[in-house]
């Protein structure tokens, strides 16, 4: 049999893959996925941008390129982060990556040795758990509530784990909960990172998709000591298929990440890198992002209406101000996977909470996606889900 490395997950551990497969049955209304709404992809505009990129840069874009990325795109990202997040950043602080997912891999490779401690919200983005796990990280979960990571718990954990190396957080409309960290907590987190000399990986794929409330400053905007590494992406505001993400950090960190990126894939696809600045030059991107936010806001509202109408009264749920997900907690359930199976019998699906926890799970929790579901199906799906939850909890 093949002698795979320790990094390769054991067979049968891709719980989410199995769930998505089960939920893919056309009979099933699935809130399990995590995709943007494809009807808002700017297909014609992006096609025109690709054509212009070819016309202007044909040979360069077909040639090998620089590991740090195409200069025009790095300048655009620096400008975008400055404008949207008030982060003082120059082009030297930007590395273009193959989706922001690659940042998780590069940062883990650069900072996490076998046995190093990584602190993360409980629950958190499950692919981040998988990446850090593959580098042998020791996880310490930090409690969270509707205002994001709990700072008292974080400080207690930092004291208890002086070996801690990295704090990973999704501060805006977190995947999976939809929660947003308050400005006070962000400021405190950055202070604690400097005090305990721990790095922070700020993962912000959803920040621009805000449909309610006021924007909260990025952790990176409070960072005076270079402890925060900020990662972003065009996946949710343009299209995930182009795989354009980035990391913003001190030059010294960017240089090391660049060396590691070079070993991983030499550089990110040039066609996508040249096309994005062309798209920005010819289109009102803010108006496009507003369209996305408005649609997701409408779908989230419909989802909440359905939850209130059809779910058992004791069910708790988050009310996100942006992003693509909300989080449900059904009291009295001790086996979330059994709950999932019961719901599947009613032809409706979600992602059970368990894989989002690096340590102890919180039974009865699950994630619902609203961005990729037509409005009439939201109502139908929640009706089925409500009936399934009532059936499951009555047992």
Minimum CB separation of residue 176 from ligand PLP in Å reads 9
Find the residue with minimal CB distance to ligand PLP. 99
Q: Which of 78, 98, 93, 79 is nearest to 270 (CA)?
A: 98
Alpha carbon distance 366, 190 (integer Å): 30
**Sequence-distant (≥ 6) Cβ neighbours of residue 40 within 8 angstroms:** 288, 291, 292, 295
Nearer to ligand PLP, 172 or 221 (CB): 172
Site of interaction with ligand PLP (CB under 6 A): 34, 99-101, 125, 170, 175, 203, 205, 233, 235, 240, 245
Radius of gyration of the chain (CA): 21
- Long-range contacts made by residues 312-320, C-beta under 8 angstroms, separation at least 24? 312/386, 312/389, 312/390, 312/393, 315/389, 318/146, 318/177, 318/178, 318/179, 319/178, 320/173, 320/177, 320/178, 320/179, 320/180
Strand partners of residue 248: 94, 230
- The DSSP call for residue 210 is B
Judged by CB, which is closer to ligand PLP: 148, or 205? 205
Least distance in Å: CB of 393 to ligand PLP? 29
Q: Which is nearer to ligand PLP, 100 or 336 (CB)?
A: 100
**Nearest distance in Å: CB 189, ligand PLP:** 17
The minimum distance between CB 34 and ligand PLP, in angstroms, equals 5
Inter-residue contact 283 to 78 (CB < 8 Å): no
Q: In the complex, what is the shortest distance from the CB of residue 86 to ligand PLP, in angstroms, rounded to a whole number?
A: 21
CB nearer ligand PLP, residue 203 or residue 321: 203
CB of 246 to ligand PLP, least distance (A): 9
CB nearer to ligand PLP: pick between 81 and 170: 170
Q: Which is nearer to ligand PLP, 66 or 127 (CB)?
A: 127
Comparing CB distances to ligand PLP, the nearer of 60 and 146 is 146
Q: How far apart are CA 41 and CA 49, in angstroms?
A: 13
Smallest gap from Cβ 352 to ligand PLP, in A, equals: 17
Separation CA 178–CA 173 (nearest Å): 4
């Amino acid at each position: 049999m093949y002698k795979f490395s320790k990094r390769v997950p054991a067979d049968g551990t891709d719980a989410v893959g199995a769930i998505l497969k089960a939920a893919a049955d056309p009979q099933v209304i699935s809130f399990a996925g995590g995709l943007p709404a494809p009807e808002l992809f700017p297909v014609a505009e992006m096609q025109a941008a690709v054509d212009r990129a070819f016309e202007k840069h044909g040979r360069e874009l077909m040639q090998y390129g620089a590991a740090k990325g195409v200069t025009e795109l790095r300048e655009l990202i620096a400008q975008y982060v400055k404008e949207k997040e008030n982060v003082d950043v120059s082009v030297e602080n930007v590395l273009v990556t193959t989706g922001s997912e690659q940042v998780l891999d590069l940062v883990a490779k650069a900072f996490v040795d076998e046995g190093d401690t990584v602190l993360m919200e409980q629950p958190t983005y499950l692919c981040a758990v998988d990446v850090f796990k593959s580098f042998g990280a020791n996880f310490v979960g930090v409690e969270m509530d509707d205002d994001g990571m709990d700072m008292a718990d974080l400080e207690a954990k930092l004291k208890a784990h002086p070996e801690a190396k990295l704090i990973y957080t999704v501060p805006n409309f977190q995947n999976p909960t939809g929660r947003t960290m308050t400005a006070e907590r962000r400021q405190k987190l950055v202070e604690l990172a400097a005090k305990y000399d721990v790095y922070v990986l700020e993962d912000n794929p959803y920040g621009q998709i805000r449909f309610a409330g006021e924007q909260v400053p990025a952790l990176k905007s409070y960072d005076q000591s270079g402890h925060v590494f900020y990662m972003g992406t065009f996946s949710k505001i343009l299209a995930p298929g182009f795989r354009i993400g980035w990391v913003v950090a001190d030059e010294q960190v960017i240089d090391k990440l660049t060396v590691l990126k070079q070993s991983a894939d030499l550089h990110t696809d040039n066609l996508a890198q040249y096309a994005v600045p062309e798209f920005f030059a010819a289109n009102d991107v803010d108006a496009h992002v507003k369209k996305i936010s408005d649609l997701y806001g409408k779908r989230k509202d419909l989802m909440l209406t359905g939850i209130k109408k059809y779910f058992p009264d004791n069910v708790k749920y988050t009310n996100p101000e942006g992003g693509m997900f909300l989080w449900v907690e059904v009291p009295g359930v001790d086996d979330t996977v059994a709950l999932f199976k019961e719901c599947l019998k009613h032809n409706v699906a979600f992602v059970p909470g368990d894989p989002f926890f690096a340590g102890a799970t919180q039974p009865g929790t699950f994630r619902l996606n609203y961005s990729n579901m037509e409005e009439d199906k939201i109502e139908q799906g929640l009706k089925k889900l409500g009936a399934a939850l009532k059936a499951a909890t009555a047992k």
